[in-house]
Amino acid sequence: MPQLEAPAAIDYQSETYKDAYSRINAIVIEGEDEAASNYVRLAELMPTHAEELADLAKMEARHKKGFTACGKNLNVTPDMDFAKKFFSDLHGNFQVAAAGGNIVTCLLIQALIIEAFAISAYNVYIPHADDFARKITESVVKDEYLHLNFGEQWLKANFESAKAELERANRENLAIVWRMLDEVAADALVLGMEKEALMEDFTIAYQEALQNIGFTTRETLRMLTAGLAAAAA
Amino acid sequence: MGWCSGLNSCASLFVPFVSLSPFNPFSKEMFGLIGHSPSLERTHEIARELGLPECADRDLEFWCSAPPQAVDTVRVKSATGQEIEGQYIDSGFLPEMLTNNRGKTAVRKVLNAMAHAQKLGLSVTALGGFSSIVFENFNLSQTRLVRNVELDFARFTTGNTHTAYIICRQVEEMAKRLNLELSRATVAVCGATGDIGSAVCQWLNARTNIQDLLLIARQEDRLQALRDDLGRGKILSLEESLPLADIIVWVASMPKGVEIDPAMLKKPCLIIDGGYPKNMGTKIQAPGVHVLSGGIVEHTLDIDSRIMRAIGMVNPKRHIFACFGESMLLEFEKWYTNFSWNRNQITIEKMLQIGEASIKHGFKPLLLDPVG
């Protein structure tokens, strides 16, 4: 039976760490900013839920401030150009869906994929974070579960009419997530986050959300592997 | 800070705990089984058998990042007529993770599967195959939090009490069948200091009249403590003990099998292969050497599941691992507790208690198809 190696101590002030952190921190800040904008847009598309969505948007804006403070705490300047490019495909797909009034696709991208991505990344990050960032991330991840829950509830209530669009949107967007994970894997590892753990945690959160909405285990497996196949293509 | 990357083991104080499923899909109590494929190679067949072609033909990397899945519903009818249902959760763990030095991955698999079982609201779940070994070896009882799930260990059992009981009964019954008189027999227990091994030693010491007990394990201090506790037993190496043994109880679990030269064994010799994975039957084939799959129970009635066939059980409708049987027995008896938990806590009283339930509900030790 192999033994587990004790984790190497992380030097949060090393140039290597700060270099990787400049991109990861930027992704998190951009992700929260993107989420806030997306919930504002969703509030326009879903007027009966406008108040709730406005609250979610405010929460995301608060998260952005928190993560900006994490970067400042380590004297790191976030590489926002990198982050904007990192999110550009998902951002583009959300904008197209919103312009077409496709609420289901918008919810899948923001309330399921981005939220599950955030939850998994934050959960994997927390045990390796510096003290300042850990406290902030712990409080953020609690909120993100609520956001995932909003999307789940609405899609569950509209499951039959939304199912086909969800499957299509999944195929088109999940592949982007796998590519995003690949892009960030090396930097994440510097921060103590292993790619396979990120993938597993994302898949758990995303699959659970899909099952909560109404998909069967088999359907969710098909959806997850469809995303993988599209990423490999 | 925990070493189990990805498991929010110590920092989720602000996350709302989830002890039951927010989406419990079951309207009644269900037992759980956490298992895994015996090898990467077998995953292809298992995936097809379970109707999950998406998971077939995948490599080790895929399984290292795959989430746990509830892939089969198991229905069992007791000899008393009582019927229960359970869920089989494939943790995605593979023994190759241990041989490839992916201990952290193995840990994540087991804890994620446990969190999944708990979120599904399963009443009591057995940790099958390597799951309990990984849990014990890596001291996972220190990890109560998996993301936003606070693990409730009362909902899990290693199933080791039932396994140990069944192995002891297999020794007793097979000895009769092979005309091996226990009062003149030397019994070697390989893996004697493990949870199952030490329980087997206790039983053999207290409830049989075996002539000699040979204790084999890697850790000398634990062996000494066991011998002191038993007040008997010879501490020998594997090589020294095998030629002396009439009966070998193999309860060491290793990701890689061991090679035993049948020429060095006594004839006749009974080997109860209670380790995991079970592959001695195919490795040791010689006249006079009888190899029996250890820790397997045969049920009086058919068990409705696909997983036992998928994982290659010889008689999948009737045969199951005794550790899985334990969670079924706990469900039948409504003993919603971690009946087997923590290392070396198994007592003869508990073995008798689970043994009585085992008989009552129609389980018996596998005896009929020894290999070899």
Output the pLDDT for position A87: 96
Predicted TM-score (pTM) of this structure: 0.89
Q: Chain A interface, mutation test: which of B8, B114, B119, B256, most A Cβ atoms within 10 Å? A: B8
Output the pLDDT for position B256: 66
Across A101-123, b (16+ Cβ under 10 Å) vs e yields ebbbbbbbbbbbbbbbbbbbbbb
Distance (Å) from the C-alpha of residue A186 to the closest C-alpha of chain B? 15
Give the nearest partner residue to B108 out of A195, A200, A225, using CB atoms.
A200
In the three-class reduction of DSSP (H, G, I as helix; E, B as strand; rest coil), residue B350 is classed as helix
Output the pLDDT for position B343: 86
Over 50: is that where the pLDDT of A28 sits?
A: yes
DSSP secondary structure of B23-92: T---SS--EEEEE--SSHHHHHHHHHHTT-GGGTT--HHHHHTPPPEEEEEEEEE-TTS-EEEEEEEE--
- For A151-191, how does the pLDDT look when each residue is reduced to its tens digit (9 = 90+)? 999 999 999 999 999 999 999 999 999 999 999 999 999 99
**Which residue of chain A comes nearest to B140, CA vs CA?**
A4
Does A204 touch chain B if contact means CB atoms closer than 8 Å? yes
CB spacing of A217 vs B255 below 8 angstroms:
no
Spatial strand order in the sheet of B31-35: B69-77, B83-90, B31-35, B125-127, B156-157
Output the pLDDT for position B281: 67
CB spacing of B8 vs A207 below 8 angstroms:
no
- For A198-229, how does the pLDDT look when each residue is reduced to its tens digit (9 = 90+)? 999 999 999 999 999 999 988 999 899 876 66
- For A4-26, how does the pLDDT look when each residue is reduced to its tens digit (9 = 90+)? 666 678 999 999 999 999 999 99
Q: With respect to CATH, is domain A15-232 assigned 3.30.70.1290?
A: no
pLDDT digit string (tens) for chain B, length 372 residues: 233 333 433 333 333 333 333 344 565 789 999 999 989 999 988 888 888 888 888 899 999 999 999 999 999 999 999 999 999 999 999 999 998 889 999 999 999 999 999 999 999 999 998 999 899 888 898 888 898 899 999 999 999 999 999 999 999 999 999 999 999 999 999 999 999 999 999 999 999 999 999 999 999 999 999 999 999 999 999 999 999 999 999 998 766 667 788 999 999 999 999 987 676 767 788 899 999 999 999 999 999 999 888 888 889 999 999 999 999 999 999 999 999 998 889 999 999 999 999 999 999 999 955 444
Does B148 touch chain A if contact means CB atoms closer than 8 Å? yes
Does B89 touch chain A if contact means CB atoms closer than 8 Å? no
Whether ipTM tops 0.95, in short, is no
Output the pLDDT for position B22: 39
Dihedral sign of CA atoms B263, B269, B273, B274 in order: negative
Does B133 touch chain A if contact means CB atoms closer than 8 Å? yes
Distance (Å) from the C-alpha of residue A96 to the closest C-alpha of chain B? 30
Contact criterion met (CB below 8 Å) for B35 and B311: yes
Q: Residue ranges of the domains in chain A?
A: 15-232
CB spacing of B8 vs A126 below 8 angstroms:
yes
Output the pLDDT for position B370: 44
CB spacing of B51 vs A196 below 8 angstroms:
no
CB spacing of B1 vs A7 below 8 angstroms:
yes
Residues 73-112 in A contacting B (C-alpha not used; CB under 8 Å)? none
Q: For tokens 């009552």, what's the residue?
A: B360
How far apart are alpha carbons B226 and B204 in whole angstroms? 13
> Which of chain A's residues have a Cβ under 8 Å away from the Cβ of B107?
4
CB spacing of B103 vs A2 below 8 angstroms:
yes
Distance (Å) from the C-alpha of residue B95 to the closest C-alpha of chain A? 10
* CA distances (Å), origin A8, targets A11, A13, A132, A190: 9, 15, 19, 11
CB spacing of B2 vs A127 below 8 angstroms:
yes
Q: For tokens 């199933």, what's the residue?
A: B159
Does B21 touch chain A if contact means CB atoms closer than 8 Å? no
Output the pLDDT for position B208: 97
- For A101-138, how does the pLDDT look when each residue is reduced to its tens digit (9 = 90+)? 999 999 999 999 999 999 999 999 999 999 999 999 99
DSSP secondary structure of chain A: -PPPPPPPPP-TTSHHHHHHHHHHHHHHHHHHHHHHHHHHHHHHH-GGGHHHHHHHHHHHHHHHHHHHHHHHHTT----HHHHHHHHHHHHHHHHHHHHTT-HHHHHIIIIIIIHHHHHHHHHHHGGGS-HHHHHHHHHHHHHHHHHHHHHHHHHHHTHHHHHHHHHHHHHHHHHHHHHHHHHHHHHHHHTT--HHHHHHHHHHHHHHHHHHHT--HHHHHHHHHHHHHHHH-
